[in-house]
Amino acid sequence: MTTTDDTIRYDWALDEIVALHNLPLLELVGRANAVHRMHHDPNKVQKASLLSIKTGGCPENCAYCPQSAHHREVDLTRDRLMDPESVVAMAATAKAAGAERFCMGAAWRQVRDGREFDAVIEMVEGVRALDMEACVTLGMLKPHQAERLATAGLTAYNHNLDTSPEFYEQIITTRTYQDRLDTLATVRSFGIDLCCGGIIGMGETIRDRASMLHVLAGMTPHPESVPINALVPVEGTPLAKRPVTDPLELVRMVATARLVMPASTVRLSAGRSNLNREAQILCLVAGANSVFYGDTLLTTPNAGIGEDAELFAAIGELDCDHVSASAA
């Protein structure tokens, strides 16, 4: 039922993925760890830093997002696009502290040509000049914009599916699922890696979670990077009253993602602040091999820097230096 050698499949059936997800937990984690070791160094966890380069005022109505202009009760300070020099300086600080990848997010529905996009291009070029991976999330893209990003040396473009096609309209109505798929296809056509995952804990079913993975695992090739997020409820958003996701649900999602996308980097992303040390380690055993450092992920809390130092000190032999740079 699952990958037991180095063969990567693109023909997973939805029911197969549901069955994997619902395996007894120890069996699921064991299988995922075995597949992880076939495709990755189990002692390597990539370090990434995430910075909000333009905060708030987004015209999308994503129910989970405090940056949406639709959610007027959210207490959030709107900030204009940062200047490239400051962003590159923060990337250099992150690199000096051990980060290998620098991710930049702007609260836009879609990229618009002009001075601001020119500034983003300058940021990407500056980060790449530091010999770091550069990733951006800017909303929808036109082909000529993706081409400019590729020419600037962009490593990866983040554009999450968020959830399943079936549940999507319960979360977002200002952009269609096909819009997201079209943007991903545009990015891929210019040779930029895809960073694409989703969020659990928004009221979706297990089948919805499996359906999202089914879409991702059906892409050829699979996304190079798959962020697995747990909802961080924010006061003033429509999902503010959702309960915090059980840590073992996140472990199951990480393990299932690893089984159906063996070679992808699975990123333990938002929601990590709600996991204790042992739950985070279990996610790493289950196949996560990247984490974001810093006290904030765009606008939501992340595991504290001191907590991360303790985590990786406890793990010991993992190739993971402590990163002191905070993502704003």
Give the residue numbers annotated as catalytic, written as ranges.
58, 62, 65, 103, 135, 195, 267
Contacts of 193 (CB under 8 A, 6+ apart): 155, 156, 157, 223, 224, 225
Residue type, 95: K
How many whole angstroms separate alpha carbon 137 and alpha carbon 64?
Answer: 17
CB 80 within 8 A of CB 125: no
Burial of 261 (0-12, 13-18, 19+ CB in 10 A): buried
Q: Of 222, 212, 225, 215, nearest to 265 (Cα)?
A: 225
Burial of 322 (0-12, 13-18, 19+ CB in 10 A): middle
Residue 84 Cα distances to 89, 127, 144, 275, angstroms: 8, 10, 21, 34
How many whole angstroms separate alpha carbon 260 and alpha carbon 145?
Answer: 31
Q: At what angle do helices 115-129 and 143-152 cross, to 10 degrees?
A: 30
